[in-house]
Amino acid sequence: VNAPQKGTLLRSTEGAMPLAGRARDARSSAIREILKVTLRPEVISFAGGLPAPESFPVEALRQAFDKVLREVGPGSLQYSTTEGHPALREWVAARETARGVPTSADEVLIVSGSQQGLDLIGKAFIDEAAPVLVESPSYLGALQAFGQFAPTFRAIPTDADGLLPQALDAPLARGARFAYVMPNFQNPTGRTLTSERRIELAAAAREHDFWLVEDDPYGDLWYRAAPPPSLRAFAPERTLRLGSFSKILAPGLRIGFIVAPRPMIDVLIRLKQATDLHTATISQRAAFEVLSGNLMADHLPAVRQRYAAQCSVMLEALEQHFPRDAVWTRPLGGMFIWVELAGKVDTTALLARAIERQIAFVPGEPFFANDAPRNCLRLSFVTVPPESIRAGIATLGEVVRATTT
């Protein structure tokens, strides 16, 4: 019964533990094992999904925690409500409203990172084998979170402008509980869904009666212009919109939010109560202090500028060093570039060779729920300084050429 499945690295003692099927199936991926070497300082890693630590507003957060402890005192260290800190919920609602979708604070649930939001949504929607629509490729962490509840993933085809709403015909969409979509600077591809497709997707959701789970941790990280209106703007009655402070403040705070119709928020509150009672009181209060001050007006443009510059450096280096028949995305924001190599190359095997040259990336395969192609890879440029981006892409280009020719 406990025989390791293909790709599973079970520790020998696990065989003796009375694990639930869900825990036995939670795989420690072979790729994660390979990527452990990225902790070595000599490795140039384009594999990370982490924001640049230089972008964390450390001093502002220190002052905010100080102020909260001084002024609120023990109350900032006490248990608090499951819904979240009222002022932070108001802040989120006001920002959604300012962006054109009237929202009240009771349509906002604060969660412990949007990753918890994905878990709660999985708990709320997914019975075993229930159909769930995901982009192809999609965010690995969402496939893992939903995967715990054993859905049947149905892949929505995509092109350079994101998912193809016209593909959501009856056979694909029938019976689907929800579609999980990252409309802005998608992880892993960096693609952005056009306004027209957002409208068509909302229409398809109404026609086939499924909900939209809009995951938008990168929307504020645009380079030249803000992305189109949120998916929620086009179908507020059937959208759960997930936001995060991980990429604009700091991921270690573990604060994100879900905006959804109040009856859906009520369901999620009950599930969250059973999961962790509430998100850390002091983190929420300190984050609110920073967000409601003047810092964001300077901080966000600086982060955007930093990421835009690093993205350009990587795009130039790819032009210079990658084979002509490779294609890659040109993101308008966010943290990732997606590369498709020509021919029969397997990027998991390529990773082993790149690691020998002290370069790391993430192979594309785990980002696909079904039918994964082998020739794709994800590159992150945000934690690597420009000189190392140039040097690393030059070396990776050599490895790619040596493998594909």
The nearer residue to ligand PLP, 147 or 256, going by C-beta atoms, is: 256
| Minimal distance, residue 400 CB to ligand PLP, in Å | 25
User: Contact 221/51 with Cβ under 8 angstroms?
Assistant: no
| Minimal distance, residue 110 CB to ligand PLP, in Å | 11
The nearer residue to ligand PLP, 82 or 138, going by C-beta atoms, is: 138
| Minimal distance, residue 219 CB to ligand PLP, in Å | 11
DSSP state of 259: E
Q: Please name which of 8, 50, 45 lies closest in space to residue 377, comparing C-alpha atoms.
A: 45
SS3 call for 230:
coil
d(CA 33, CA 29): 7
| Minimal distance, residue 244 CB to ligand PLP, in Å | 3
Report how far Cα 403 is from the mean position of its chain's Cα atoms: 30
The nearer residue to ligand PLP, 184 or 317, going by C-beta atoms, is: 184
> What are the angstrom distances between the C-alpha of 291 and each of 59, 69, 176, 300, 326?
14, 17, 37, 11, 41
Residue 226 forms beta bridges with which residues? Answer: none
| Minimal distance, residue 241 CB to ligand PLP, in Å | 12
| Minimal distance, residue 257 CB to ligand PLP, in Å | 9
Helix axes 86-98, 281-292, angle to 10 degrees: 40
The nearer residue to ligand PLP, 284 or 317, going by C-beta atoms, is: 284
The nearer residue to ligand PLP, 82 or 115, going by C-beta atoms, is: 115
The nearer residue to ligand PLP, 218 or 322, going by C-beta atoms, is: 218
Which residue has the CB atom at the shortest distance from ligand PLP?
113
| Minimal distance, residue 174 CB to ligand PLP, in Å | 26
Q: Is 162 left (phi over 0), alpha (psi -120 to 50) or beta?
A: left
Total Cβ atoms within 10 A of residue 60: 18
The nearer residue to ligand PLP, 141 or 229, going by C-beta atoms, is: 141
- Judged by the rule CB under 6 A, the positions of this chain that interact with ligand PLP are 49, 113-115, 139, 141, 182, 187, 215, 217, 244, 246, 251, 256
| Minimal distance, residue 256 CB to ligand PLP, in Å | 4
What is the DSSP annotation of 144-194? HHHHTT--EEEEEPEETTEE-GGG--HHHHTT--EEEE--SS-TTT-----
Look at the block and give the residue holding tokens 């402070």.
245
What is the DSSP annotation of 92-121? HHHHHHHTT----GGGEEEESSHHHHHHHH
d(CA 294, CA 13): 53
Q: Which residues, including other chains, have CB under 8 Å from residue 324's CB and lie 6 or more apart? A: none
| Minimal distance, residue 141 CB to ligand PLP, in Å | 6
The nearer residue to ligand PLP, 162 or 397, going by C-beta atoms, is: 162
